[in-house]
């Protein structure tokens, strides 16, 4: 696992309880989990804890069982994997995503190709008529009882400049919190809702129709990843509305602090898209942010998400 150690003390006179003076050093502690030698492809990490380029594998056709096992391990270790020069079809994209579980039918992004009945491919198309609105840190669909396990995003058309996507490591973010903050948030539960995000752009008749199907849900503030035992922050500014069991003032204080903490560049990896680039990330362990800096240029991405499990906290 990866453990973060501040190299300087928390400044005693600083009113920000998360302010650290000096560099943040990531120390990778060898464990049985991280000892795999990748034989089916090569891995080139981008940062000490999150993001890795995968080379020497094609995401179409038959992928061996050994390669699938190594990819699963790499995803748990690096949280975001990306692949260049993947000139694949939408059908190949779907087949690769299906290797990891049931495909998610997103209720707000039902964009199927003409003649295609499936609603599991969300085409995110932005141009001079429709600007990007995903430029906030979030995990996908945490307003579901079973948020996405992972997602596979394929670049169909990218602008010449801008349109990058960034991911933030929520395990590293948790590790760097002072112990007294971890003690406060470890047992807490938060509410997640879609009304202030998706609902903001919908006509009232649509939100009235969808609300009975998608009520606010409750998830642990600190989630435990079953395959690794890692603790990760599981609140995000896109969908987390409040922390239960505390006053409104304390809820606001904690969420503001944690949302700001997530924005530290030390936790982040930024991907410059190229045509035929594919990114595969663990939605449980990282948040992402799509830079909306390319308007009015055109950007088209196909995303397929994999259904996840109900989040489990430290107490089970």
Residue numbers annotated as active site: 138, 140, 288, 303
Residue ranges in the chain assigned as alpha helix (H): 65-78, 90-98, 170-176, 179-185, 204-210, 248-262
Task: Identify the three-state secondary structure at position 266.
Answer: helix
Residue with tokens 């260049």: 84
For every residue of 110-127, DSSP letters joined together read: --PPTT-----EEEEEE-
For the chain, helix (H) and strand (E) counts, in that order, are 6, 17
Written as six digits, the tokens of 242 are: 């409040």
- Distance (Å, whole) CA 258 – CA 253: 9
- Distance (Å, whole) CA 306 – CA 192: 19
- The one-character DSSP state at 103 is B
- Distance (Å, whole) CA 301 – CA 153: 7
- Distance (Å, whole) CA 137 – CA 134: 8
Are 148 and 305 contacting, i.e. CB atoms less than 8 angstroms apart? yes
Residue 250 neighbours by CB under 8 Å, 6+ apart: 243
Are 103 and 304 contacting, i.e. CB atoms less than 8 angstroms apart? yes
Rg over alpha carbons for the chain, rounded to the nearest Å, is 20
Residue 17 neighbours by CB under 8 Å, 6+ apart: 10, 178, 180, 181, 257
């Amino acid at each position: 696992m990866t453990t973060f150690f501040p190299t300087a003390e928390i400044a005693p006179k600083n009113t920000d309880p998360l302010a650290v003076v000096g560099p943040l050093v990531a120390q990778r502690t060898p464990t049985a989990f991280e000892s795999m030698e990748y034989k089916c492809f090569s891995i080139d990490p981008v940062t000490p804890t999150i993001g890795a380029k995968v080379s020497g594998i094609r995401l179409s056709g038959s992928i061996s069982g050994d390669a699938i096992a190594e990819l699963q391990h790499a995803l748990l270790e690096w949280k975001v994997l990306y692949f260049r020069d993947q000139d694949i079809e939408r059908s190949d994209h779907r087949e690769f995503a299906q290797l990891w579980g049931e495909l998610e039918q997103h209720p707000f992004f039902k964009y199927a190709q003409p003649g295609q009945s499936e609603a599991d491919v969300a085409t995110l198309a932005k141009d001079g008529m429709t600007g990007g609105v995903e430029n906030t840190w979030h995990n996908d669909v945490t307003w579901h009882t079973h948020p996405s396990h992972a997602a596979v995003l394929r670049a169909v058309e990218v602008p010449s400049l801008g349109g990058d996507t960034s991911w933030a490591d929520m395990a590293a973010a948790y590790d760097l919190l002072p112990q007294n903050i971890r003690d406060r948030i470890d047992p807490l539960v938060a509410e997640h809702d879609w009304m202030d995000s998706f609902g903001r752009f919908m006509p009232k008749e649509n939100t009235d129709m969808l609300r009975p199907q998608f009520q606010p849900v409750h998830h642990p503030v600190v989630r435990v990843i079953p395959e690794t035992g890692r603790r990760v922050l599981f609140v995000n500014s896109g969908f987390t509305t409040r922390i239960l069991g505390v006053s409104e003032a304390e809820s606001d204080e904690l969420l503001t602090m944690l949302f700001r903490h997530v924005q530290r560049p030390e936790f982040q990896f930024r991907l410059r898209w190229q045509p035929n680039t594919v990114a595969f990330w663990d939605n449980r362990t990282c948040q992402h942010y799509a830079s909306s800096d390319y308007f009015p240029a055109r950007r088209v991405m196909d995303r397929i998400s994999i259904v996840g499990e109900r989040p489990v906290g430290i107490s089970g």
